Amino acid sequence: MSKLLLVIALCVGLAGSAAAQAPETGLKVGDKAPDFALQGTDGRVHRLSDYQGKAVVLAWYPKASTQGCTIECKSLRDSASLIGQYDVVYFMASVDTPEDNLTFARNNEANFPLLSDPGKETARAYGVLSERGVANRWTFYIGPDGRILHIDRQVNPATAGQDLAERLDALKIARR
């Protein structure tokens, strides 16, 4: 009986971990990226439609001030000169409140805006909202025409900045 319970527990545990992974977004390369209007840590409301004709990177992250997100934020911050070589606007985005993101941005000296989606509408539109109620760590590369060029679902927080610059190069995003 104890072996049977162990097998059942393992099966339930595996099923639970599979269920904890959010289904992949219905968005794919070539799709029109959903517009958004999100409060930034720079005090502005940013809309995708405001950047028509410019490439946009939207790097979703799970939770402000957590270890992996801090590492990712610092990687993007430290890669500003690499990323700045491209004609691109880039953001980190989460479902955190504007206040939490502002504290997070200040504590990590973020030199780019962090966007807040506390109502989770944009996270749902992009398909990044996990069953835990936070965003998956996925990065969307959006072309100047508003279409998705690439979706990175395997973001490495430690190399996120360098990886972003390399992806911009591979996608042939215009240089400044």
pLDDT tens per residue, range 112-140: 999 999 999 999 999 999 999 999 999 99
- Indicate whether 158 belongs to any domain: yes
d(CA 37, CA 51): 12
Q: What is the pLDDT of residue 77?
A: 98
d(CA 164, CA 25): 20
- Indicate whether 110 belongs to any domain: yes
Per residue in 87-119, pLDDT (tens digit) is 999 999 999 999 999 999 999 999 999 999 999
Axis crossing angle, helix 98-107 with helix 67-78, rounded to the nearest 10 = 60
- CATH number, domain of 137, equals 3.40.30.10
- Indicate whether 87 belongs to any domain: yes
Q: Is 73 a catalytic residue?
A: no
pTM, whole model, 2 decimals?
0.85
- Indicate whether 74 belongs to any domain: yes
Catalytic residue among 56, 69, 93, 168: 69
Give residue 114's domain range.
35-170
At residue 26 the predicted structure's pLDDT band, cuts being 50, 70 and 90, is confident
- Indicate whether 92 belongs to any domain: yes
Q: How many domains does the chain contain in total?
A: 1
- Indicate whether 3 belongs to any domain: no
- Indicate whether 106 belongs to any domain: yes
Are the C-beta atoms of 113 and 141 separated by less than 8 Å?
no
d(CA 34, CA 36): 6
- Indicate whether 13 belongs to any domain: no
